Amino acid sequence: MRSAAMINRPETVRVSESRVCCDGADDIPGGAALGHPRVWLEIDEAGFVDCGYCDRRFVLIGGPVDVAATGTDAEHDSDKGVSAG
């Protein structure tokens, strides 16, 4: 029996504004040349948006899926039919 490979969750960034940009290289010395084209993303009523290039997730601070603000993992609780609020 083969064990399932562990898949790390994409990086999550908490932001204070609903419009964010991502170039995939914010934390890489040398910058965007090592990342992906800069894209602008808009966080909607869901409270988060994922970058289509690098899967980085931007979560609106105080939004419905902000784990630090709610103290629960609202996104995964909703998968189980549990109310986060």
User: Domain segments of the chain: what residues?
Assistant: 12-79
pLDDT at 5: 66
The CA distance from 22 to 25, in Å, is 8
Looking at the predicted structure, is the pLDDT value of residue 82 above 70? Answer: no
Confidence of residue 53 (pLDDT cuts 50, 70, 90): very high
| DSSP SS3 for 70 | helix
Q: Are 15 and 61 in contact (CB under 8 A)?
A: yes
Q: 5-9, 49-53, 80-84: which range is least confident on average? A: 80-84
Q: Return left, alpha or beta for 81; rule: phi > 0 is left, psi -120 to 50 is alpha, else beta.
A: left
Confidence of residue 25 (pLDDT cuts 50, 70, 90): confident
Confidence of residue 10 (pLDDT cuts 50, 70, 90): confident
Q: Between these two residues, 16 and 71, which has the higher pLDDT value?
A: 16
The architecture CATH gives domain 12-79: Sandwich (2.60)
